[in-house]
Chain A
Amino acid sequence: MSQSDPSAYLPLPPRTFAMLAVLAAGPTHGYSVMQQVNQTLGRTAFLGPGTLYRVLKELRDEGLIEESAAPDPAADQRRRYYRLTALGQVVAETEAERLGGLVHAVQAGLARSDGGAQ
């Protein structure tokens, strides 16, 4: 993929962002991604195996993630492991910044309206 402008991918849907965030912590396998995403997002956005592997495949096609060796030789070798590519890393960070800015702005706005009320 020659595409390298991270902002072209933004905004990321929450699920995709959550998946990238899980992988940002280090290489891991599909099921663990799914579990962690479901833990983070809770009932609001159930991530099933179908969606998981479809999105993983698309993220890989887009060059945001790649397959990797198991992080630990003792780990289950039958499973496939994934990690972020450099591009994926940048996309995730950019999205995090964007969301962070958004949260900050909203919080500031709320603080102001609170102050106004008092």
Chain B
Amino acid sequence: MRLKNGDNPEMHPEGRRNGAGRFANRLYDVLLLVLPSWLREEAGEEMRQIFRVQWRETQGVWRRSLLILLTVLDTARTAIWSWPHSYGSSPVPQRSKRLPLFKTQLEITMGDIRHAFRSLIKNPAFSLMALLVLSLGVGANATILTLVDRLFFTDPPHVEAPDQLVRVMRTSDSGSEGGLAYPDFRHYRDNNETFTELAAYDEGGFAVTIVPTSDGKPSTESGAAAGERVSAIGWFVTDNYFAALGTQPQVGRFFLAEENEVPGRQPVAVISDQLWTNSFERSRDVLGSAILLNGNRFDVIGVAPRGFRGISPLETPPDIWVPIVSQPTLAPLGANYALERVEGARWVWLRGVGRLNDGETIEHASANLEGLATYLQENFAEWSEGWGVALAPHAGFNPSDRAGLLSVTRLLFGAVALLLLIVGANIAILMLARGSQRARETGVRLALGASRWRVARQVLVENLLLAFGAGLLGVGIARVCANLAAAWMPMSFALDFAPGPRVVVAGLLLAAVVAFGASLAPALQGSRFDLNALIRNDSTGSSRPWMRGGLVVLQVALSMMLVVGAALFARSVATARAVDLGFETENRVMVSVSLRNHGYSPEDGKLLVSRALERLRALPEVDSVTTTMMVPFRGATMTNFSPIERAAGSRSNVQGTASDGAQQSGDGDDMLFSGYNQVGPDYFETMAMNIVLGRGISRTDDDGAPGVMVVNERLAETAWPGEDPIGKLVEFREDSAPLEVVGVAANATYYELGEEPTNQFWVAAQQNYSQRVRFMLESRGGLLSVGERARAVLLDLDANLAVPPPTLLDESFRTEIARYQTAARLVSLFGILALVLASVGLYGVLTYSVVQRTREIGIRVALGATGSRVASTIVGRGLRLTAIGAAVGLVGALVGTRFLVSFLYGVEPTDLVTFVSVPIALLGVASLACLMPARRAAEVDPVRAMRAD
């Protein structure tokens, strides 16, 4: 049965068990570990059950966050109370017959907290430093966690039970995946047994000009009440699209089945919350009104809920949704062409999304659909031969995007984890220093009879307080930085990366774990409290200097690893940047226009383009202008290349000298495969591509002139080895005369960085119509404003055209190297942070040792040691620690960088330059960190040093 929109608000009441629920369950399992085993064994399972029930009964993010908070508190309280109990024969005698829970525990805790506050405020330097360092570490982690949380664990808004949604894709024998054709989709929709709903939507979207009207007539001309013309993105969707996602309209309704049956009978549209706000001022009257889409009247029937964006975070949400059958309506002149798209079996343009029946597995659903695909292949071989079907779980991303994102996030996680370790070591150093500072206080408290637990708890509460503050600060840092970091990711998302409640909890927990772990350092050091020594403030006995040194070594080693990684990435980007692409990317701006849905005949389209070119050339700030169908790094159009005169002699030549290259793929097969592009006049000049022979495409290569093409060197050599390619004829389209080769262009990069030279040819756009045209302009500055002026020119030629904002050619190149750049930027940032933290740690330890050894230094100076001699001891110690750390770090980096290969371009993971220069730089930074403490040591006044105690 297929459900219609709007009539099934409770479609999947059981389907709420989503990612958040699993996360909560896991969190609770972890929490339970805090409890003593006797309580876990006694009641663990029941507690778990109760939490699950509570979770299910609690709805809404904030209520659930509150539940988590209360549960964490409850568990912590239980843990504190239960542990002493578990020592059956505890040395502390039970004070009374009263149950332990009758103690007024809360008062003591409040007292602890007050005391902790006071003592933190008393040491502002320590507190601020610890707070800063810890919040930086937590902030970096929370930033990455926010990305992961939003990208992989946050359900798309207004989508019911997204776990039940699956993507349905067409697969080819060769394993590539793509969209569905409409007949595929219809067959699957009508015959499957595994989906409650199977819907589809246009994968690309279409550009529209929207004119809100009051009475069905365009009101723009009439002035005052005129709705503003808006350029927007629309999606073609099947009538059940919203029902499949479980989305409810905030106003009006969604599509009915009959509205997706007959083209043009009932043109209806659903608009986005944003369009409703901007063009209709959120008035409910929108339901009665109509809008013009590319000049065609559509009735508005509903408004999608605010924030609704479909299922993928990578797709820019549209402003308008129309039924798939509206396609011909939106392109009246090209109706046959457009209809072919809806009805055509070869036109794969739809993304399928299905909601599985309750309890249905994806494996079973796959098997079901594969059966249907086999039926299609057997009975409609003419269009479905070689095509299969594949289902992918997780509606959010398609599998390859997901894999790419996962590898980047894994890398970043590694980096922030290292950073957090460094932070931990740093805080431990701070706490060690603090611990010895307050050793006297602790000694006094112990001597006065405070229990060891009482003293330890004091430290614990202080650290937790610090952790709480740092956790909150860290989440604040993530709030600011996550969007910046997301902007550096290799894909662009239409999401706001705000830390959710899970990240807040995780940030607080991380901070608590690090603070707690770091506080173990002084605890370890002071495990054998010698009360007398402490009270005498004779610290030499109790301290273990190797621990501080060890912590510095650890920090240096870890930051070494991070910096080596960062340097490798930076070198990759530099290498990629320096590659000669064979064309220029800078100072080029593109404005694209799709004539597809605007009713242009090929003749009109060509006329529009040539008029536009004329006017753009006339702009003073434009140095050169052309058109192109393809943009480097943004996909390929491949075709067979069929030279008519392929010198008979040359073929045997090629076969005769087979040893000189693997150019011919085949066994006597004449077919050559090549990429091609349709370009306007001056293309090679505008792109700064070299013509090595003959000429490029010129302004005279229009409809009246003989057909021409330009080939690249590699294609020329492959097709006509040893011959002059100029003047050769090539069959391009069956229905038109062969094209003559007029020029040879130097090989260049066309599709991806680092590709082997590939076959490529260019034909003249004025002789071969394409509905998709990109104007490419070269200009020396103010690129985007030049692009905007070009856009204005196009809109002036036809106000109904949908012209998206201009883009930079350099941007598509940057996208190409984004993968390297993401790693380079973020890891460099973390590397610098790590370096700073390690230097601070080194500085702290050296300063501390100078302070601690003041008396000793004083004696030395009194006995005749010079200032420089004293200073060099300090510097020597610092550099020794750094050198050990650097050596350990180098080994770690050698092992670790092997995992970075996929993020490196043109650089070996064991790059010698990096592995030599980074340690040198590190030693340089370390000696800077040694300077201050060394000076301090050199300036020790022996008289005052001796008198100090």
The chain A residues found within 8 Å of chain B, CB to CB, are 3, 8-9, 12-13, 16, 30-31, 34, 46-59, 62, 79-80
Contact = CB atoms under 8 A, between A and B. Distances in A.
A53 B43 contact: yes
Contacts of B536: none
Contacts of B97: 3, 8-9
A52 B43 CA distance: 10
Nearest to B72: A48
Contact of A80 (B46, B50, B75): B46
Contacts of A51: 74, 77-78
B101 A13 contact: yes
B44 to A, nearest CB: 9
Contacts of B51: 49
Residue from A9, A49, A58, A59 having most chain B Cβ neighbours under 10 A = A49
Given A49-B74, A50-B77, A30 B50 contact: yes
Contacts of A30: 43, 46, 50
29 contacts: A3-B97, A8-B97, A8-B98, A9-B102, A13-B102, A16-B99, A16-B102, A31-B49, A34-B50, A48-B74, A48-B78, A49-B46, A49-B50, A49-B74, A50-B35, A50-B39, A50-B77, A52-B47, A53-B43, A53-B47, A54-B39, A54-B82, A54-B101, A55-B101, A57-B39, A57-B42, A58-B101, A59-B99, A80-B46
B73 interface: yes
B848 interface: no
B71 interface: yes
Given A31-B50, A58-B101, A48 B75 contact: yes
Contacts of A58: 85, 99-101
Nearest to B96: A8
B633 interface: no
A69 B576 CA distance: 74
Interface string B43-59: 10011011101000000
B673 interface: no
Contact of B42 (A12, A34, A53, A59): A53
Nearest to A46: B70
Contacts, number: 75
Given A13-B102, A53-B78, A57-B43, 14 more contacts: A8-B97, A9-B98, A9-B102, A31-B49, A31-B50, A49-B51, A49-B71, A50-B47, A52-B47, A53-B46, A53-B47, A54-B81, A56-B43, A57-B42
Majority-rule SS of B interface residues: helix
Nearest to A47: B74
A12 B99 CA distance: 10
Contacts of B70: 46, 48
A69 B53 CA distance: 23
B31 to A, nearest CB: 8
A10 B99 CA distance: 10
Nearest to B31: A50
A28 B82 CA distance: 24
B774 to A, nearest CB: 61
Contacts of A59: 99
A22 B695 CA distance: 95
Nearest to A11: B102
B382 to A, nearest CB: 60
Interface residues of B, number: 27
Given A46-B74, A51-B74, A53-B43, A9 B50 contact: no
Nearest to A31: B50
Interface in B904-938: none
A54 B78 CA distance: 7
Nearest to A58: B99
A62 B85 CA distance: 13
A28 to B, nearest CB: 13
A85 B474 CA distance: 51
B99 A62 contact: yes
A70 to B, nearest CB: 14
Given A3-B97, A54-B81, A57-B39, A31 B75 contact: no
A50 B74 contact: yes
A4 B77 CA distance: 29
Contacts of A9: 97-99, 102
Contacts of A12: 102
A59 to B, nearest CB: 8
A49 B49 CA distance: 10
Residue from B39, B42, B50, B70 having most chain A Cβ neighbours under 10 A = B50
Contacts of A49: 43, 46-47, 50-51, 71, 74
A8 B97 CA distance: 7
A48 B46 contact: no
B99 A50 contact: no
A11 to B, nearest CB: 8
Contacts of B53: 31
Interface in B604-651: none
Residue from B39, B51, B74 having most chain A Cβ neighbours under 10 A = B74
Contacts of B42: 53, 57
B100 to A, nearest CB: 7
B74 A16 contact: no
Contacts of A46: 70, 74
A58 B42 CA distance: 12
Given A31-B50, A54-B81, A56-B43, A16 B98 contact: no
Contact of A50 (B75, B85, B100, B101): B75
Task: List 3 A-B pairs, minimum CB-CB distance, nearest first.
Answer: A48-B74, A50-B78, A53-B43
B159 to A, nearest CB: 31
Interface in B66-90: 70-71, 73-75, 77-79, 81-82, 85
Residue from B35, B51, B101 having most chain A Cβ neighbours under 10 A = B101
Contact of B46 (A3, A31, A55, A62): A31
Residue from A9, A34, A48, A59 having most chain B Cβ neighbours under 10 A = A48
Interface in B85-139: 85, 97-102
B30 to A, nearest CB: 13
Nearest to A15: B101
Nearest to B48: A49
Nearest to B102: A13
Contacts of A16: 99, 101-102
Residue from A13, A53, A79 having most chain B Cβ neighbours under 10 A = A53
A53 B46 CA distance: 9
A59 B99 CA distance: 8
A3 B50 CA distance: 33
A31 B101 CA distance: 20
A52 B51 CA distance: 12
Contacts of A79: 46
Contacts of B101: 13, 16, 54-55, 58
Interface string B241-266: 00000000000000000000000000
A60 to B, nearest CB: 10
Contacts of B46: 30-31, 49, 53, 79-80
B59 to A, nearest CB: 17
A48 B71 contact: yes
A85 B74 CA distance: 27
A50 B54 CA distance: 13
Residue from A46, A51, A54, A62 having most chain B Cβ neighbours under 10 A = A54
A44 B438 CA distance: 38
A34 B46 CA distance: 12
Nearest to A62: B99
Nearest to A60: B42
Contacts of B78: 48, 50-51, 53-54
Contacts of B35: 50
A3 B81 CA distance: 23
Contacts of B102: 9, 12-13, 16
Nearest to B32: A50
Contacts of A55: 101
A72 B79 CA distance: 34
A41 B514 CA distance: 36
A15 B722 CA distance: 95
Contacts of B71: 48-50
